[in-house]
Amino acid sequence: MPGCLSYVAAVDAAEPDIVWVTEVWESAAAHAASLSLPAVQVAIAVGRPLIAEFEARYETSPLGGIGIPAD
């Protein structure tokens, strides 16, 4: 997706029914814009019935990493 620097989906090591998704975006605006893309709308529609609940949502500020430009 334009503006997405990293997207990782991982199964929780202790709870195999829990999936963690971590995304790094160039900006909040880039993330918001991605939600209007037709492919993303389809993925949301397909994925939504598979999601039992969202327990928490966290926002962080990456300090750097492979593929992540330093501020």
Task: Give the rounded distance of the alpha carbon of 33 from its chain centre.
Answer: 13
Q: Give the range of the structural domain holding residue 26, as residue numbers without chain letter.
A: 4-50
Mean pLDDT of 23-33: 94
Residue 25: its pLDDT value, please? Answer: 93
Show Cβ contacts of residue 35 under 8 Å, excluding neighbours closer than 6 positions. Answer: 41, 44
40: domain CATH number is 3.30.70.100
Q: How many domains does the chain have?
A: 1
pLDDT of the residue at 30 = 96
Is 22 a domain residue? yes
Q: In whole angstroms, give the CA distance from residue 22 to residue 12.
A: 12
| Confidence tier at 71 by pLDDT (50, 70, 90) | low
Residue 71 lies in a domain: no
- Whether pTM > 0.85 for this model: the answer is no
**Is residue 8 in a domain?**
yes
